[in-house]
Structure 1
Amino acid sequence: AYKRALKEQESADVAYARLMLLGSAGTGKTSLKHSLMEEPFNPHTTSTIVSDVSSVRPFGHKWQTMRENKWREATEEDEIKEIASLFKFIQSRSSSYHTSVLSAKYSCDESDALVSTGSIASDFNVEIRIKSIFERASSTDQKTELLVQPFLHIWDCGGQPVFLEILPAFLTPRTMFLLLFDASKDFRERWQSRQNTPDGKVLFVEVVNESTSDLMVKWISTIHSYLVKHNKEDASSPSLYCIGTRGDKLKRKRKREQVKKQIQSLYEEKEFSDLIEDVLIIDNTTSGRGEKEDPSITELREAVDSFINNLAVKTPVNWVLFRKVLRELKQNIISVSDAIAIGVACHIRADDVPEVLKFYHELGAVLYYPQLEGLNKKVILNPKWFVDTIGKVFPLEKGWRGTNRWYLLQNKGILVQPLYQEVWQSSSIDPEEIIELLVHFRLAAQVQTDLYDGRFKQYFLPAVLPGYTGDPNEVRPGYELRASPVHITFSTGYVPPGFFTRLATTVATDDNVKLNFDNVYAAPTAGFIDRLAITMKLRSKIEVKHIYRNRVCFSYGHPSDDLFLTDINDAIQADVLRYVPEISHPIPFKTVCQQLLKLLDKCCQK
């Protein structure tokens, strides 16, 4: 469809790209975004929850598109000017061999003669919107030279541990990644989640069992695995910069160079080393101060400009118009049938519209999931809205607290149907379809437990739980047999972000497996003192928590054996334990271990 459309009509160079800001919470991702926009530094910037997506025009001297040389938010006027430039260019080439479908059927004088596309398009007043676009474009003074006008979608991603699980679902190769770290701190220390509140307070929340350097290498290896290693046929290649923030605290140039060398040592001789362009130390406090601005900020802007310039792709002019109309709708989501009607109004063949949607999905302009039942009939026009909608179930507001449904989610990782229906009821999309997306990306798994009314669906979401920081070899006492631990390793040397969640949810769907939740066990009694303590009720029971974001216990078979999966950063450790005498179990322990090895291998492949 794409090649045929290029032959049938004129094309425009479209440069859509995504700039994704990654890093732990509190490293200054939002401040860096403001620096790129040359906005003054705000020391009271609040932390981003889930993500913040902005559409930006990165104007610079290389683009020659505007008199401006400053980045700013994209406006409706920008869209009209781009259309006007497109029209002027087409008119200047009216004698060319290929007559544009757009210029032939959509001149401003003929806009009243648009073919009706049925009630669906009429509901959105598609013909009127197209006519309005042409009228405004025709009155706009533009040069006849067709220049690339870039659109950059900046994803300022929340750095809290739970949200790092969501982001792999939105990775695309047409992305420049800025991986941030606090250059003023020892990146070998364990990372603590930090949140800046609207009232100016700083909350230090969860301490995770990994260092900043661990987290950085995990992200780099994940991006490489998703977008480079397994997508060698894709012409688009991502780019990554490691950005050290709080450069104002590193007064000496020697200290900055030392930090850069430490970061470079993390990826030297790694298979993903070619992905990393450079390490920059940036002082966000100088943003918007003209000549006093940190030169590294200017260097980064120029790098983004260069990256986008290399992504310019020829796009059939009718396809360009199609996207403009979709933006004019100002809707978060429409049906595919709506999109087809709009495409027909833009003189795109009905059968080609799904291909156009895939094209813009890859460019990051819309979200379209034809492989998902339910969502395959939807087109998400506002990616920010959709990411925020998914994220609602993770940081539930205080108003939800105190209910049993909230307790199950926050403490057991079980999301019950009444809760997610209530949370997502006003989202303009069926809550069941949102759940289906989470299941598709293996962020959730449908399970059945005794924790809630069995008439309602239940889903396991380990990502919402706190992390485990204890000894990975710790298990509940009283076992009869314990197998030597098995370690699932990766060529990068680290467990990719999100992989443990996907593995745990995949294992949870097996018919022979059940989640093994918190239990209270009798304390072991070794002698007279222990028995006396129990008699006096000084020590009778101990509580063992089994389910965490990075550690999950399953029960396997009947009678059940325990399977512990633990993310230990450089590998996933699997432990199998039996709590009944071998002679009383119908299946030998060795056989169970072999069955579980096969199960884990199958789940890892999935």
Structure 2
Amino acid sequence: TLIFFPIDNKDSLGIDQLRRAVEQCARDDKSVLQEVSIRWMAFLDSILSKREESAYLTFVDEVKALGTNARIPYAREQIQALAFFHARGFLIHMTSTEILKNIVVINPQWLIDTLSKVICDGNIHIDFQEFKTVGLAEDVISTFETALTSRDFLEYVWKGELVEFFIDLMKRTMLLSEWGRDSYLIPSLLRDTYMIPETGIAGHRCVYYFSSGFLPNGVFQRLLCLCVELSSRNGGNTNLKLYENFASIELDQGSP
């Protein structure tokens, strides 16, 4: 039995099987039977009706007003409703920080398009001459050769729109970690690989074996973000060795 659904986009093979599997999962999910207030549904409809106008809404200036119009005047219930809509995939609303909490994303493709301006193949998607013209030649080279990007680079590619939101989002989803002042590490852009020796790695080691499976793409990079963040807090990120497949990090100063 396959653990995935093979799809042929050209001939549409496999799509019907995938659709039936999704429908069956929806029927088996008891949460779909949860009763929802008509006011909440009106609230959701009013939010999604704004998709043609914007990819996101601000909670303080826009969503609260829509909630009041839907007879949900209190912010606490509005937050509960947004959490429910988020869990069902109607919108994206993260609440771990005040910056994230104030943005309600109603067009997820906008998020993907914006993040892919940074997390991409620089040789294919980046016009290096453009960045040289605006004085960001060193920034773009650093971003795609060492995975260290600058605040100026992010400001430029995101056109100054919601920069703090996207930095916060990437931090919380472990796609980015701070690296000194106004610099950031994006582990998924690391390209150099390291030939790992059988012995001779100094310091304490933590080894995971995936003999009966595999490590999903992106897990190592996210773990790297957490380790770099911890190292930075403890004053130990002065002698890091970072590669696409290997990292040597001093998590606590003086303790490699």
TM-score, normalised via structure 1 length: 0.35
Matched residue, 2:140? 406
Deviations 1:482-517 (A, max 9, x none): 537734326876445433222222222323322547
User: Corresponding residue for 1:505?
Assistant: 225
**Matching of residue 434 in structure 1 with residue 166 in structure 2:** yes
1:243 aligns with 2:9: no
The structural deviation recorded for 1:459 is: 0.5
Distance in 2 (alpha carbons) for counterparts of 1:423 and 1:284: 31
Q: 2:208 aligns with which of 445, 469, 489?
A: 489
Q: Aligned partner of 1:302: which letter?
A: R
2:89 aligned with 1:364, yes or no? Answer: yes
Matches within 5 A, 1:142-157: none
Q: The residue matched to 2:242 in structure 1 has which SS?
A: coil
Are the aligned partners of 1:489 and 1:495 in contact in 2 as well (CA < 8 Å)?
no
Equivalent position of 2:103 in the other structure: 378
Structure 1 gap ranges (5+):
1-239, 246-282, 288-293, 449-455, 476-480, 518-545, 559-591, 597-606
Root-mean-square deviation (Å): 3.0
In structure 2, C-alpha distance between the alignment counterparts of 1:557 and 1:354, rounded to whole Å: 39
The answer as to whether partners of 1:443 and 1:501 remain within 8 angstroms in 2 is yes
* Counterpart Cα distance in 2 of 1:367 and 1:373: 15
Where 2:237 maps in the other structure, the secondary structure is strand
Q: Cα deviations across residues 68-106 of structure 1 (Å, max 9, x unaligned)?
A: xxxxxxxxxxxxxxxxxxxxxxxxxxxxxxxxxxxxxxx
Work out the CA distance in 2 between the residues paired with 1:309 and 1:408.
Answer: 49
Show CA shifts across 1:318-346 (max 9, x none): 11111111121122111112212101101
C-alpha deviations, 1:22-75, integer Å up to 9, x for none? xxxxxxxxxxxxxxxxxxxxxxxxxxxxxxxxxxxxxxxxxxxxxxxxxxxxxx
* Cα distance, 1:367–1:557 mapped onto 2, change above 3 Å: closer
Counterpart of 1:471? Answer: 195
Shift of 1:399: 2.1
- What is the letter of the counterpart of residue 436 of structure 1? D
Q: Report the Cα distance in structure 1 between the residues aligned to 2:172 and 2:69, rounded to whole angstroms.
A: 33
- Cα pair 2:191 2:244 within 8 Å, conserved: yes
What's the secondary structure of 1:415's corresponding residue?
Answer: strand
What letter corresponds to residue 329 of structure 1 in structure 2?
K
Q: How big is each residue's C-alpha offset from its partner over 1:368-402, in whole Å with a ceiling of 9 and x where there is no partner?
A: 11112311112111112112212211225332455
Counterpart residue identity of residue 398, structure 1: I
- 3-state secondary structure, aligned to 2:42: helix
Give distance in 2, aligned partners of 1:555 and 1:438.
23
| Offset at residue 435 of structure 1 (A) | 0.7
Q: 1:336 aligns with which of 59, 68, 74?
A: 59
Tell me the CA shift for residue 286 of structure 1: 4.0
Q: CA deviation at 1:347?
A: 1.0
Q: CA deviation at 1:556?
A: 7.5
Residues 268-293 of structure 1: per-residue CA shift (max 9 Å, x gap): xxxxxxxxxxxxxxx55543xxxxxx
Aligned equivalents of 1:362, 1:329: Cα separation in 2: 20
Partner of 1:548: 243
More helix by share: 2
Which whole-Å deviations, capped at 9, do the CAs of 1:435-476 have from their partners, x for residues lacking one? 11111222211112xxxxxxx5000111112252x521299x
Give the distance between the partners of 1:547 and 1:285, measured in 2 at CA: 39
User: Structure 1 vs Structure 2: percent identity of aligned residues?
Assistant: 20
Any stretches of 5+ residues in structure 2 without a counterpart? Answer: none
- The corresponding residue for 1:447 is 179
Q: Which amino acid aligns with 2:116?
A: G
**2:37 counterpart of 1:316:** yes
Letter in 1 for 2:242: I
CA distance in 1, matches of 2:206, 2:92: 36
| CA offsets 1:296-335 (integer angstroms, 9 cap, x no match) | 5433332222223334333211111111111211221111
CA displacement at 1:241 relative to structure 2 = 4.9
5 Å matches for 1:180-259? 241-245=3-7
1:95-152 Cα offsets, whole Å, 9 max, x none, are xxxxxxxxxxxxxxxxxxxxxxxxxxxxxxxxxxxxxxxxxxxxxxxxxxxxxxxxxx
Q: Is the 8 A contact 2:43 2:70 kept in 1?
A: yes
Partners in 2 of 1:286 and 1:504 — Cα distance? 40
Cα distance in structure 2, aligned partners of 1:286 and 1:506? 42
Amino acid in structure 2 at the alignment position of 1:317? I
**Which AA in structure 2 matches 1:434?**
F
Find the aligned partners of 1:390 and 1:354 in 2 and give their Cα distance: 25
Matched, 1:299 2:23: no
Looking at structure 1, the residues matched to 117 and 64 of structure 2 have their Cα atoms a distance apart, in angstroms, of 30
2-side partners of 1:334 and 1:422: how far apart? 22
Q: 1:494 to 1:439 in 2, by over 3 A?
A: same
Could you say if the C-alpha distance between residues 286 and 394 of structure 1 is closer, same or farther in structure 2, counting changes exceeding 3 Å? closer
1:355 paired to 2:84: no
> Are 2:190 and 2:243, in contact at CA under 8 Å, matched by a contact in 1?
yes
Shift of 1:414: 0.5
Contact 2:5–2:18 (CA under 8 A) maintained in structure 1: no
Greater C-alpha radius of gyration: 1
Shift of 1:413: 0.8
The letter for the 2-side match of 1:483 is A
Which residue of the partner structure matches residue 154 of structure 2?
420
Question: Relative to total residues, which structure has the larger strand share, 1 or 2?
Answer: 1
Cα distance in 2 for partners of 1:495, 1:463 equals 15
Does structure 2 conserve the Cα–Cα contact (< 8 Å) formed by 1:361 and 1:368?
Answer: yes
